[in-house]
């Protein structure tokens, strides 16, 4: 007898690829957790660079940065996040990177027939997306070593 399905806790992503769960039947997506679905509104986070520039980004984009994610999880978002060691040039590059990766995740899930597809050898579309992102990433890091180092810290 199988136990009933328990939805993921709200801190899990909205969509979970069940293909990565061992011995799980083969539907493409697990149900969306009701609390997470209710939180589907796009929250805006204000990021402030060390040189005083402010950037407003969606929380999903900000959460791509491990450092910013920890600040958000620790509740430091009331008056925006002051990134004392990050100038506006580096912060804008980090936001560009995070935006691209959030868009790539959304495209992988939603652009192909309205549902996610499991990447496999017979599916060329997700493989093409992965290649496009790899190419974009390779171009993105074609900057001087100091810039790369500063980006990696965020």
What was the pLDDT predicted at 122?
A: 45
Task: Copy the structure tokens of residue 83.
Answer: 């990134």
What was the pLDDT predicted at 94?
A: 95
Report d(CA 10, CA 32) in Å as an integer: 10
Query: Is pLDDT at 60 greater than 60 in this prediction?
Result: yes
Give 72-83 pLDDT, tens digit per residue.
999 888 788 999
Angle, CA 135 vertex, CA 86 and CA 113 arms, to 5°: 105
**Could you tell me the CA-to-CA distances from 110 to 2, 23, 120, 123 in Å, in that order?**
30, 25, 17, 15
What was the pLDDT predicted at 79?
A: 83
Q: Is the dihedral of CA 27, 33, 34, 40 positive or negative?
A: negative
Task: Copy the structure tokens of residue 105.
Answer: 């995740």
Query: Is pLDDT at 39 greater than 90 in this prediction?
Result: no
What was the pLDDT predicted at 65?
A: 94
Helix, coil or strand: residue 61:
helix
Q: Which domains does the chain have, with CATH numbers?
A: 1-41 (no CATH), 42-153 (3.30.710.10)
Angle, CA 34 vertex, CA 19 and CA 81 arms, to 5°: 95
Query: Is pLDDT at 3 greater than 60 in this prediction?
Result: no
pTM: 0.62
Give 128-141 pLDDT, tens digit per residue.
888 899 999 999 99
């Amino acid at each position: 007898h199988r136990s009933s399905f328990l939805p993921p806790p709200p801190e899990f992503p909205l969509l979970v690829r069940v293909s990565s769960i061992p011995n799980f039947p083969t539907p493409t997506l697990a149900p969306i957790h009701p609390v997470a679905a209710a939180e589907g509104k796009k929250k805006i986070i204000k990021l402030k660079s060390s040189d005083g520039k402010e950037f407003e980004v969606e929380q999903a984009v900000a959460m791509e940065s491990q450092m910013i994610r920890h600040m958000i999880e620790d509740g430091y978002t009331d008056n925006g996040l002051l990134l004392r060691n990050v100038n506006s040039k580096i912060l804008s590059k980090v936001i560009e990177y995070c935006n691209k990766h959030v868009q790539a995740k959304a495209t992988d899930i939603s652009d192909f027939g309205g549902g996610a597809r499991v990447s496999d050898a017979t599916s060329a579309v997700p493989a093409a997306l992965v290649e496009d992102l790899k190419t974009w990433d390779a171009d993105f890091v074609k900057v001087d070593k100091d810039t790369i180092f500063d980006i990696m810290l965020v």
